[in-house]
Amino acid sequence: MSDLTGKVALVTGGSRGIGAAIARRLAGDGATVALTYATAADKAQEVARQIEAGGGRVLVIKADNAHPGEAVGAVERTVSDLGAIDILVNNAGIYLGGPLAEISAADVDRILAVDVRAVFLASQAAARHLPSGGRIITIGSALADRVPAPGMTLYAMAKSALAGLTKGLARDLAPAGVLVSLIHSGLIDTDMNPKEGPGAQFLTSIPALGRYGTAEEVATAVSFLAGPGGQYVTGAAISVDGGFAA
């Protein structure tokens, strides 16, 4: 486990799935954790209770990344309430897909607002506070590297934008000693994409390992990048996808 004692981490979308696993892992590594939720207040509080039961300190923030002021506000609230921010994990996101002809302009605007604009704005806000050695880690998708079926164009486009954002931020923030990385997560078993859900048989055939990953496996990669092991990693995209894009 990484030693993050004394660090403050903000995990967006930390009420369930991958975000909840990341929040729990960073707290277990010693960090004080702030986590955001958009609608699932009960689930966010349950994650907070789990962290506190393990002796951790946690701050729960209601913030919907569809609204730019709330994405920035979550960063500022973390700093004002916890005194600092050392690690920003941009995890919150939505999935929108379907037949190309049925995608509306409103769909395009919504996914770019939540999955791209909010990541940029939260990272920009965090950069004003992050110390040397600070980290920005964004959770992307293996669909940025491989689109295995129709109906995923909009989501793949949004997640592909995060690669350029990560590289640009890495260059902009390197003089301040801030490291920026991206995780391409693959087929992960969550309540939004359960391994027993519709289409699971087809989806399981895509990764080289032939199985769904777990949220904890993604959290382990975040822990590495956030800790001492990640101190020479910046501008990089790391795949935690079981060979989805192989």
- Give the domains, in start order, of the chain with CATH numbers: 8-240 (3.40.50.720)
Q: What is the per-residue pLDDT for 137?
A: 99
Tell me the pLDDT band of 2, cut-offs 50, 70 and 90.
Answer: confident
Query: What is the tens place of the pLDDT at every residue in 95-128?
Result: 999 999 999 999 999 999 999 999 999 999 999 9
Burial profile 214-239: b = 16 or more Cβ within 10 angstroms, e = fewer: ebebbbbbbbbbbbeebeebbbbbbb
Share of the chain above pLDDT 90, in %: 94
Q: What is the per-residue pLDDT for 101?
A: 97
In the block, tokens 């973390």 appear at: 78
- Average pLDDT over the chain reads 97
- The CA–CA distances, whole Å, from 169 to 71, 79, 110, 161, 172 equal 17, 20, 23, 12, 5
Q: What is the per-residue pLDDT for 198?
A: 82
List 95, 155, 212, 232, catalytic entry: 155
Query: What is the tens place of the pLDDT at every residue in 220-245?
Result: 999 999 999 999 999 999 999 999 99
Q: What is the per-residue pLDDT for 193?
A: 86
Query: What is the tens place of the pLDDT at every residue in 30-72?
Result: 999 999 999 999 999 999 999 999 999 999 999 999 999 999 9
What does the alpha-carbon distance between residue 173 and residue 49 come to, in Å, rounded to a whole number? Answer: 35
Query: What is the tens place of the pLDDT at every residue in 145-201?
Result: 999 999 999 999 999 999 999 999 999 999 999 999 999 999 999 988 899 888 888
Q: What is the per-residue pLDDT for 1?
A: 58
Beta bridge partner(s), residue 55: none
Q: What is the per-residue pLDDT for 106?
A: 98
| 155 counts as catalytic | yes
Q: What is the per-residue pLDDT for 191?
A: 85
In whole angstroms, what separates CA 17 from the centre of its chain?
11
Q: Which positions ≥6 away from 228 have C-beta within 8 Å?
A: 2, 3
